[in-house]
């Protein structure tokens, strides 16, 4: 995006901080876990640098914040914006299952190798290895179901941002959620089928940025780099 595109609406992806299951790699969907002390520091560090008046994520520029209802995402929202954030008072915050983590079903709490072993015992994956993007989860969410709910949220966001593509009104959006579903959201934002490969990484407490090319609602894009606002003083 060129400098003249600075007013184009953006969508910020905020991943929750570290939990105990983040550390050991267990699939964490509906299980309610607290952030570790390190996880809280990750989010606070991100918030100090990137969230606030005149910073990358300026509350004044936000139209809506969509937050996963899981405890770890709620805590991350509070740490990023402050427990008494004016955003809540202005009814700009929505806690919604639309951006909850992928439904892992029978794989909840398992390690990747445990899932592979379980499926092998069931006689599955004979022709190719299990791939959640294509195969979904036993007793949980399929790729098609995840696509449907994320596409619904994306349509809502586009309806919000469509009238203001040239900065007529600040309508930035923040999603506070989970690593897997935020990567899935990115695929669908770009119009990429869930099963198509797209290597992405978003660390705990990290922020990603999506937007549009040339102020065009039909040209969704992701920002591979960002320039931070100048600090005053």
pLDDT at 27: 96
Residue 230 lies in a domain: no
Active-site pick, 18, 32, 91, 101: 101
Q: How many domains does the chain have?
A: 1
Extract the tokens encoding 134.
């294509």
- Could you read off the pLDDT of 52-86 as tens digits, one per residue? 988 999 999 999 999 999 999 999 999 999 865 66
Q: What is the domain range of residue 73?
A: 3-222
Residue 231 marked in a binding site: no
Q: Does the annotation mark 101 as catalytic?
A: yes
Residue 233 lies in a domain: no
pLDDT at 225: 81
pLDDT at 83: 62
Residue 153 lies in a domain: yes
Residue 104 marked in a binding site: yes
Residue 142 lies in a domain: yes
Residue 228 lies in a domain: no
Residue 227 lies in a domain: no
Residue 55 lies in a domain: yes
Q: Does the annotation mark 180 as catalytic?
A: no
- Could you read off the pLDDT of 170-228 as tens digits, one per residue? 999 999 999 999 999 999 999 999 999 999 999 999 999 999 999 999 999 998 887 77
CATH of the domain at 128: 3.40.50.1240
Helix (H, G, I), strand (E, B), or coil: what is residue 230? coil
Residue 189 lies in a domain: yes
Is 34:71 a contact under the CB 8 Å cutoff?
yes
Which CA distances in Å does 159 have to 63, 65, 79, 208, 209? 12, 15, 29, 21, 18
- Could you read off the pLDDT of 94-120 as tens digits, one per residue? 999 999 999 999 999 999 999 999 999
């Amino acid at each position: 995006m060129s400098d003249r595109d600075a007013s184009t609406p953006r969508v910020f992806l905020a991943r929750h901080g570290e939990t105990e299951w983040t550390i050991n790699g267990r699939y964490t969907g509906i299980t309610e876990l607290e952030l570790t002390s390190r996880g809280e520091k990750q989010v606070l560090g991100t918030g100090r640098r990137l969230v606030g008046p005149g910073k990358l994520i300026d509350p004044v520029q936000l139209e809506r914040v969509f937050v996963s209802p899981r405890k770890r995402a709620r805590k991350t929202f509070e740490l990023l914006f402050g427990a008494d954030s004016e955003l809540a008072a202005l009814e700009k915050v929505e806690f919604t299952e639309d951006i909850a983590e992928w439904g892992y079903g029978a794989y909840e709490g398992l390690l990747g190798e445990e899932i592979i072993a379980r499926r092998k015992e069931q006689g599955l994956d004979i022709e190719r290895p299990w791939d959640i993007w294509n195969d979904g989860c036993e007793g949980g969410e399929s790729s098609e179901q995840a696509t449907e709910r994320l596409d619904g949220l994306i349509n809502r966001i586009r309806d919000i941002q469509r009238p203001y593509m040239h900065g007529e009104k600040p309508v930035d959006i923040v999603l506070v959620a989970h690593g897997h579903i935020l990567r899935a959201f990115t695929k669908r934002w770009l119009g990429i089928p869930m099963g198509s490969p797209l290597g992405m990484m978003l660390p705990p407490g990290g922020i990603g940025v999506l937007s549009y090319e040339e102020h065009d609602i039909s040209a969704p894009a992701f920002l591979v780099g960002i320039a931070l606002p100048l600090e005053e003083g």
